[in-house]
Structure formats: C-alpha cells, structure tokens
Amino acid sequence: MLESYYAKPESADRLRALWLGPAIDRYAEWLVSRHVAKMTALGHFQILAQFNQFVVRRGVRTHEDLPGQIDAFVRYRLRAHRWARTARDRGTVLTHSRTVVEQLLRVLVPGFVGTVRKRPWPMQSTVPGFQAYLRDERGMRPDTIRGYEHHLRVFERFLESSRITDLVTLSPVLITRFLTESTAGLSWETRGGRAGVLRVLLRYLRRQGLVATDLSRAVPRGRKYKLASIPRAIPWSEVERVLASVDRRSLRGKRDYAILILLATYGLRSQEVAQLELSAIDWQRSQFHVLGRKAGNSTTYPLAASVGEAIIEYLRLRPECADRHVFISLTAPFRPIGHWAVSGRAGHYLRRAGITVRRPGSHTFRHSCVQRLVEADVPFKQIGDYVGHRSDNATQVYAKVAIHKLRALTLGDAEDVL
C-alpha cells in the first residue's frame, strides 16, 4: 500500500526494506482506508523511519519491546527539533511523535492501546454512578451530559483548590462561595445552568447517602421573568446578504452554503443539521426528514428547490467515505461535523458579512426564520410545529419582534390588530 503514496516504486521499496518495513506497509493500508492525504501520510512515514533507526540502534529485536521505547523516542525527537522553543511548539512535536508511533503499534502489537487522552468523568471516584444516573434514570441526551461534565469539572477543580476530599464537609457557605467565584462575568444562562447542575448533583449525593442533608436548597435560584428575553434575529435582507457572501467555488464554500440555507429556510438547530443523513433525503418526493429533535419528535419538510440545488452541488464534490452523514469534515479522516462546527461556520459568515448580533451562530438564522414567519402572519402554533418548539411559550416570545403589528398599534389601529 506504500505505492498509494509514493510515485516512485524505489521510494516505497526503501521504506519497505527497513526492519519495521512490513509493519509500515500495513500501516499505510490503514491510512488509505481512512483517506489520509498524501502529504500527511508522508510526514508519518518520515517519523516511522526515524523510529525504526532509533530502535535498531538501541538493539531492539522484538515487536513486543517497542512500546517501551516510545518515551525515549519522543524525547529524542524533541532534542532534534531545536526550533521548538515555545511550549506550544514543543507540545506539537511531543504529541505528533507519540501519536504516529502509537498508531503503528496498534496495527503491529496485539492488545496495544497506547495513551488514553480522554479525561475521566469528573468526580468519578467521589461520586460513582452519577454519569449512569444522568443517562439511564434521567434519560439525558449525550450533549446534555457533556454540558454536565463541563460544570462538574469546574466544581471538581474548586474542591481540589479548597483541599476538600470528603464530600461530607460540604456546607451552604462553601456552595455559595463556589457559585460566586466560578460564575463571575458569566451570562445569566450559564449561571443558571451551573446552579441547576449543582442542584441535581447535591440531590444525588443525598439520595446515595454521601451527605447528611439535602444541600440543593442552598443553591440560589435566579429570577427570570417569562418572555423577558428578545430573540437575536436579523432582518431577512441581512440573511440574504450573508448567503450571498459565501464563496461557492470551493468544496468548503458549497458545504457551508448548504448548511446556512438549511438553517435559514427551516430554522433547524445546529444538532439537527449535523445529524442529517443521506438516507433522510427523499429525492423522489422532494422532502427530507429530521429525526430525534429536541422535543423528542420528528418532522418531514418539503425540500425547497434552492435548498435541494445547494445540497446537490455540495454532494457532487463531497469526499467519498463510508459515513452516511450529509455534512462531513473536508480533510481525512472524514467524519461527521459536530453541532459546534455548524454553529461556528454560521458565526464566521455572520461576522464576515459585517452583521452585528449578540452571540452570532446557528441560532441567529433560526430566530430569523421564525421572525420571518411571524411577520407573514403565520399562526404561532404552526410556527412552533415548523421549527420543533416544545412549548408555545418558546414561540410566543417572537411576538415581541412582530414589527409590522407594533407599527399598526402606533398608527391607531389597535382594535383591529388585537
């Protein structure tokens, strides 16, 4: 498989003639299966050739002894890269060297796992079973659990800095200090989310007998008035300006344009766009299905001609891979993009078009879609069903931005409007 990356057969032969040559050839087959780009693969082969030279010079004779050489090799490469003077550059050399060698050893050495970089669930030793409780008993979605993980990690660091090892010593004063220090400068929504996570955790601690009293009552509840916020929508003319600003000559531009027009036309959430699969698009009936929405339902939408053309234009250049999600990464290994990437691309084009809006992202297009429907006098119940709102309250807040109705009130036609 080395010939897949080397134009000259003799270059592949030189690499294959090394002691680790057959293993590197198998590793090349693994890279091909993941559609790794040529320049990336050649850089990996260079590192592995250096690793081969390093272990042969140290007298290694069996593959089983190779894992014990990884740390020494990483230090050797760091000394060789004298240009890596900053902490960031040194970290890049260390991580890249270790990752490539460990990838080879996973192919070569049975049972080799290597470095596990995923951090363990926070407070796993002090509060066992909490993650399973959120998933199995409360039925939370993976994205919600990831949000819990973030807030719990902040709480874990606070306990470590306060030198608290036994949760029995928790007190209302300590909880108040944590919330005061950790939420300074955060938005109301983030403060409320952290307080909510803490309340769930404290109730679980009491249920499991890890604390003597229910401390969740010590977590203050902020007051938020119903329909107090204003949706961060932009006029439809500015939505069209953002769409027109996308350079659709490249694959990235075609993909991003298809994402943005889906967000703007149907008011989809970023998660719903990221999870959209090829099988969900019914080309014969000109419709597509959005499954597993936030409200737990599914929706079938008519496929607008402009949206369908944008998706087809992107799919014609979409990299070939086994994954069936519509939107994937543009560099190998190809994998589905996350909802954060969808929101990030939306925010990027809003800023580039010079649109000033609070927290620019995918929800800006969602709000704009709903506002457009409100201004078209579509009933709120139909709007809520269209965008997948769980309750009527989520839709009625848009009545505050129905400018055409407010204008009629100021002109003295209040009775007709109401």
Is residue 151 a part of any domain in this protein? yes
Look at residue 121 and tell me if it is in a domain: no
User: What's the pLDDT score for residue 194?
Assistant: 93
363 labelled catalytic: yes
Q: Does the annotation count 324 as an active-site position?
A: no
187 in the same domain as 330: no
Give the 3-state secondary structure of residue 74: helix
What is the spatial distance between Cα 70 and Cα 313, in angstroms, rounded to a whole number? 46
Same-domain pairing of 213 and 296: no
Choosing from 194, 345, 363, 367, the catalytic residue is: 363
Q: Are 328 and 355 in the same domain?
A: yes
The pLDDT of residue 418:
44
Residues 271 and 339: beta-carbon distance below 8 Å: yes
The answer to whether residue 116 sits within a structural domain is no
Within a domain: 137: yes
Predicted local confidence at residue 25, as pLDDT: 92
Is the bond into 333 cis (omega within 30 degrees of 0)? yes
Q: What is the pLDDT of residue 58?
A: 93
120 lies in a domain?
no
In 3D space, the residue among 85, 7, 1, 5 whose CA is nearest the CA of residue 46 turns out to be 5
117 as an active site residue: the answer is no
Pair (87, 209) in one structural domain: no
Active site residue 294: yes
Catalytic residue among 98, 151, 194, 366: 366
Q: Residue 95 belongs to what domain range?
A: 2-108
Same domain, 244 and 385: yes
Residue 229 lies in a domain: no
Contacts made by residues 154-161, CB under 8 angstroms, sequence distance 24+ = 154/182, 154/194, 155/122, 155/123, 155/182, 155/198, 155/201, 156/122, 156/123, 158/182
Residue 240 domain flag: yes
Domain-ending residue, one of 183, 218, 253: 218
Of the chain, the end-to-end C-alpha distance in Å amounts to 73
Q: Are residues 295 and 406 in the same domain?
A: yes
Q: Residue 283: give its domain's CATH number.
A: 1.10.443.10
Catalytic residue among 294, 325, 400, 405: 294
Domains held by the chain: number = 3
At 134, which CATH number?
1.10.150
Burial code of 282-303, b = ≥16 C-beta within 10 A, e = fewer? eeeeeebebeebeeeeebebeb
Q: Are residues 201 and 253 in the same domain?
A: no
Domain limit, last residue, from 43, 77, 108: 108
Catalytic residue among 77, 151, 199, 269: 269
Q: In the prediction, which pLDDT does 414 show?
A: 44
Same domain for 7 and 143? no
Distance CA 46, CA 66 (A): 17
Q: Is 38 a catalytic residue?
A: no
Q: Are residue 210 and residue 259 in the same domain, yes or no? A: no
User: Are 262 and 385 found together in one domain?
Assistant: yes
For residue 297, what pLDDT is reported?
A: 78
Q: Residue 406: which residues within 8 A CB-CB, separation 6 or more?
A: none
Please identify, among 108, 138, 159, the residue that sits at the C-terminal boundary of a domain.
Answer: 108
- Based on the domain organization, do 214 and 248 belong to the same domain? no
Position 227 in a domain: no
Instruction: Supply φ then ψ for residue 282, to 5 degrees.
Output: -100, 95
Q: Which stretches in the chain have pLDDT values below 70?
A: 84, 116-118, 223-230, 295, 398-418
Question: Does residue 119 carry a catalytic annotation?
Answer: no
Is the model's pTM score more than 0.75? no
Query: Which pLDDT score is estimated for 274?
Result: 94
Same-domain pairing of 316 and 387 = yes
